[in-house]
Amino acid sequence: MKRFMLAAIAGSSIVTASPALAAENLTAFTSAPGVAVHLSIAHLAEVASARKIADIQITLGQTGANATLAVAEGKADIGICPFILPFLMSKGVGPYAAMGAEKGAELAANLRVLYPYSFGAYLLYAYDTVGLKGWGDLKDRRILNGPPRGGATAEARSLIQVVTGLEEGKGYEGIQSDWSQMATTITEGTSDAAVLPEFIPSDRPLQALSAGKMTFWSIPKVMYESEPMQKILSAPGSAPFQLTIEQMQALGDNATIVSEDDTFRTRGSVGGNCVNASMSDELAYQLTKAHIETLDEIYAKAPYARNVGFEELGAKQSGMCGPNPVKYHSGATRAWEEAGYTVPDCAK
Same domain, residue pair 10 and 114:
yes
pLDDT tens-place string over residues 208-224: 999 999 999 999 999 99
> What pLDDT does 13 receive?
34
C-alpha–C-alpha distance, residues 284 and 123, integer Å: 34
pLDDT tens-place string over residues 23-56: 799 999 998 887 888 999 999 999 999 999 999 9
Same domain, residue pair 169 and 263:
yes
Same domain, residue pair 198 and 317:
no
Q: Give the range among 6-15, 143-152, 167-176, 241-250 with minimum mean pLDDT.
A: 6-15
Count the Cβ atoms, other than its own, within 10 Å of residue 181.
13
pLDDT band for position 22 (cuts 50, 70, 90): low
Task: Say which CATH number the domain at 107 has.
Answer: 3.40.190.10
- Domain boundary among the residues 268, 302, 327 is at 268
Same domain, residue pair 282 and 341:
yes
Q: What is the pTM of this model?
A: 0.81
How many structural domains are present in the chain? 2
C-alpha–C-alpha distance, residues 134 and 276, integer Å: 42
Same domain, residue pair 127 and 106:
no
C-alpha–C-alpha distance, residues 35 and 120, integer Å: 9
SS3 content of the chain, % helix, strand, coil (to 5): 40, 25, 35
User: For residue 89, what are the domain limits?
Assistant: 3-118+271-347
Contact indicator for 191, 175 with CB cutoff of 8 Å: yes
pLDDT tens-place string over residues 294-319: 999 999 999 889 889 999 999 988 99
Count the Cβ atoms, other than its own, within 10 Å of residue 77.
23
Average pLDDT, the chain: 91
Same domain, residue pair 16 and 99:
yes
Same domain, residue pair 106 and 214:
no
Same domain, residue pair 160 and 229:
yes
- Domain boundary among the residues 225, 244, 268 is at 268
pLDDT band for position 188 (cuts 50, 70, 90): very high
Same domain, residue pair 199 and 289:
no
Same domain, residue pair 125 and 264:
yes
Same domain, residue pair 89 and 137:
no
Q: Does the pLDDT of residue 10 top 80, yes or no?
A: no
- Domain boundary among the residues 213, 246, 268 is at 268
